[in-house]
C-alpha cells in the first residue's frame, strides 16, 4: 500500500535520520520535507493513496520565531488524521513512538529484516587513537558514519582540549565536557541528563564538545569518565530508542584503560600504519582490554589502511596471532 509522509523539520540531520528510520519500516512510503525539498502540493497524491503529516512542534508558533508556511498549515488542516509531533514530552525524537502514532501496521509493509534492524538496540564503542588529529577525524568520518543512523547518536571526547578538531565548535566555548563530568557523579544524575549538555556537530553527532581547561579530563580522573560511560551504557540499553555512543579516549595511562572501557561493545585501538614494533607494544594493551571486556571485542586498526572502507583488521594477542580478519 503506497502512501506519502510529509515531515516538517528544519534540521536536515534530524530529517535525514527520520527518513532513513521510517523508510526502513515503510519502504512503500514517499517521504519528503517541504522545508528542505521543493515539491508541489499534489506530489503526495501522485505517489500514494493518502498522506500522513509529521511536524516538529518547536518549529511552529511564536516560541520558534517563525510562522509555518501556508502549505504546512494547509497540510495540517486537511490531513485526514491528527498530525503527529516528532518530539516526545522530553523534547527528544523517538522514531519508534512516531511510527506507533502513525497508526499504520508495518508488518505487511516492510522487510522483516529491516524492521528488526531498525528496532535493534544501540551500541557503545570506544576509539583509542595514537594518530594525528586529522587522521583520527578522517577515520571517524569513514568508519563510524553508520552510528548516526539511530534515534540519537552521541560523541564524547575524553581527550585534551588541545586535541579537539578545529572545525567542530559544538560545546567548545562553554566547556560542556567539564560540566558533564562533574555532574554525572551526582546520585540525582540520570542517563538522559547527558543529552542536556550536548549540541549537534557537523557529522550529526550530539556532543558536549571539549573541556574548559586543557587537561580537565585527566584532572577529574578516569573514575568520573567511567561513571559517564556507565550512564551511556544505560542509554544504549534503552529498548524504546536506538542510541549509539562513540567515545574517544586519549592520554590515559595503560593501566586505566581496561577498566574504563570494560562495558563497551567494541574498542578499536588505532595506529597510523603497520609497524611491527608498534604492534608488539600494543599487544599487551589489547590483551588487557580484551580480558576486561564483559561482552565486547577489541581490535587493532590502521589509519592508512587502504581507502578507509572500515574493514577492521584485528590482531590476536597472547602469542596467538593469525591472519588479518581474525577476531580478538
- Provide the greatest CA pair distance for the chain: 69
Beta bridge partners of 155: 246
Q: Give the pLDDT score at 112.
A: 40
**Rounded alpha-carbon distances, angstroms, from residue 245 to 157, 223, 239:** 11, 19, 15
pLDDT, the chain, mean: 76
Q: Give the pLDDT score at 326.
A: 33
Q: What is the DSSP letter of 18?
A: H
Q: How confident is the model at residue 319 (pLDDT cuts 50, 70, 90)?
A: very low
Element (H, E) at 11: none
Question: What is d(CA 208, CA 69) in angstroms, rounded to the nearest whole number?
Answer: 33
pLDDT tens-digit readout, 213-235: 999 999 999 999 999 999 999 99
CB burial class (10 A; 0-12, 13-18, 19+) of residue 126?
buried
Q: Give the pLDDT score at 210.
A: 85
Q: What is the DSSP letter of 82?
A: P
Question: What is d(CA 132, CA 154) in angstroms, rounded to the nearest whole number?
Answer: 22
pLDDT tens-digit readout, 279-297: 777 788 888 999 899 888 9
Question: What is d(CA 230, CA 203) in angstroms, rounded to the nearest whole number?
Answer: 24
Amino acid at each position: 500500500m503506497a502512501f506519502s509522509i510529509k515531515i516538517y523539520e528544519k534540521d536536515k540531520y534530524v530529517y535525514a535520520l527520520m527518513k532513513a528510520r521510517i523508510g526502513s519500516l515503510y519502504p512503500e512510503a514517499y517521504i519528503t520535507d517541504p522545508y528542505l525539498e521543493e515539491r508541489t502540493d499534489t506530489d503526495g497524491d501522485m505517489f500514494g493513496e493518502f498522506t500522513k503529516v509529521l511536524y516538529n512542534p518547536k518549529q511552529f508558533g511564536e516560541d520558534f520565531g517563525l510562522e509555518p508556511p501556508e502549505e504546512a498549515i494547509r497540510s495540517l488542516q486537511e490531513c485526514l488524521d491528527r498530525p503527529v509531533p516528532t518530539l516526545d514530552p522530553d523534547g527528544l525524537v523517538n522514531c519508534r513512538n512516531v511510527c506507533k502514532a502513525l497508526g499504520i501496521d508495518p508488518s505487511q509493509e516492510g522487510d522483516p529484516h529491516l524492521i528488526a534492524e531498525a528496532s535493534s538496540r544501540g551500541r557503545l564503542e570506544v576509539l583509542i587513537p595514537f594518530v594525528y588529529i586529522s587522521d583520527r577525524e578522517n577515520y571517524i568520518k569513514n568508519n563510524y558514519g553508520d552510528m548516526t543512523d539511530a534515534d540519537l547518536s552521541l560523541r564524547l571526547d575524553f581527550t585534551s582540549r588541545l586535541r579537539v578538531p578545529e572545525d567542530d565548535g559544538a560545546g567548545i566555548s562553554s566547556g560542556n565536557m567539564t560540566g558533564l563530568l562533574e555532574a554525572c557523579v551526582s546520585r540525582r544524575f540520570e542517563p538522559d541528563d547527558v543529552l542536556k549538555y550536548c549540541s549537534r556537530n557537523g557529522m550529526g553527532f550530539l556532543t558536549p564538545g571539549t573541556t574548559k581547561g586543557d587537561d580537565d579530563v585527566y584532572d577529574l580522573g578516569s573514575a568520573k569518565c567511567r561513571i559517564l560511560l556507565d550512564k551511556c551504557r544505560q542509554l544504549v540499553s534503552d529498548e524504546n530508542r536506538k542510541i549509539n555512543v562513540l567515545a574517544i579516549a586519549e592520554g590515559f595511562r595503560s593501566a586505566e584503560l581496561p577498566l574504563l572501557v570494560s562495558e563497551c561493545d567494541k574498542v578499536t585501538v588505532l595506529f597510523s600504519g603497520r609497524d611491527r614494533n608498534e604492534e608488539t607494544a600494543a599487544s599487551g594493551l589489547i590483551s588487557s582490554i580484551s580480558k576486561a571486556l564483559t561482552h565486547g571485542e577489541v581490535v587493532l586498526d590502521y589509519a592508512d589502511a587502504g581507502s578507509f572502507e572500515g574493514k577492521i583488521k584485528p590482531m590476536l594477542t597472547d602469542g596467538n596471532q593469525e591472519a588479518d580478519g581474525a577476531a580478538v
